[in-house]
Chains A and B, each alone.
Chain A
Amino acid sequence: MSTTAPSTLEGTWALDKLHSTASFAVKHMVVSTFRTSFKDIDATFAAEGDAIILTGTVPAESIDIDQPDFRGHLMSAEFFDVANTPNIEFRSTSVRRGADDAVQVEGELTVKGITQPVTATGTLIGPVADVGGNDRVGVELEAVVDRSLYDLKWNAPLPKGGEALGKQVTLSVHLEFIRQEA
């Protein structure tokens, strides 16, 4: 039995949710960084010829924060306003592969019902065959967005100067896709 390394991305790929994460980091209290992730993410990856389309959806309420007051503040209209805009969505408009697995993805990110263009960079690795015989591809991307453009404007001046929460938010996704049967 022999396995040939699959060389093409052609086709549709489904997210391996167990091995994928979507997270963000934001400066807070001027000096430190707060990070958390979303528990429920979905994404699709499809390639046709040279064109790759990447999409993703994250329910804001799946944020990995359990403390009720903290969570309540984030779900409120001061942040994600989940009652009116439950999902964070992304759709690529261009995926360009560079040397050494590098990739640059341009697309539209929708948060709180507001869509803005965003550019993410990272790596696109694969496809590789896993031990179970499935073809896998890994996409790791990072983008920095200004949260105020999405009407996530809450802030407060700190007693010793500076703002409570940074404006720039670093978004990171680590996505693993499995090839679907044609």
Chain B
Amino acid sequence: MRILGISGSLRKDSHNTALLRAAAELLPPGAQLELFDGLRDVPPYDADEDVPELHAPGVVALKEAIERADAVLISTPEYNHSIPGVLKNALDWASRPVADNVLRGKPAAVIGASTGLFGAVWAQAEVRKVLGAIGAEVVDRELPVMQAHAQFDEYGNLREEDLRDQLAEHVAALVEAAAKKVAA
């Protein structure tokens, strides 16, 4: 089982990328997480360029990575109570063509971290909404990781056992949704 992890932050030491790495360690046996590292290479969405022969390599890489995966796990920061533009832009590219986009019917879950008190809870809700609009099979759970700058130890592990348990349950729910899909 392949899970594609997409971090909505481009920052080198991103808390959301760290959260995906922590999630990778907590996946049930038989599931692996591949971290998508090409978000920076996805150009601004332009319908004029949204024909296969004009797709930038970054767009092709994104769509292929989603297509290869059995499920998608997105970890989003929150900018002004909403989705970072770079992540929304990538989802917009992935959403085309509407009828058979790479996310349609794809199990997807959302987690998020912020340095404030609310763990990107509003951005997570918006990503779930957008994924639902695109046609993904969205796991209806949230995982707000607050004060993210203090949550990881020097090895990148989540310090709090409760939070590790919640993250493990979250990814298990995604893997379960993906397993049902694979079996169907």
Contacts and interface: CB of A to CB of B under 8 A. Distances in A.
A70 B117 contact: yes
Nearest to A66: B149
Contacts, number: 35
Interface in B133-150: 142, 144, 146-147, 149
The size bracket of the interface on A is 10 to 19
B174 interface: no
Interface of B is mostly: loop
Contact of B124 (A34, A159, A165): A159
Contacts of A164: 117-118, 121
Interface string A137-151: 000000000000000
A158 B118 CA distance: 9
Interface residues of B, number: 15
B93 interface: no
Interface of B: 81, 115-119, 121-122, 124-125, 142, 144, 146-147, 149
Interface of A: 28-29, 34, 67, 69-70, 73, 156, 158-160, 164-165
The 6 closest A-B pairs by CB, nearest first: A159-B125, A67-B115, A70-B116, A28-B117, A67-B149, A34-B117
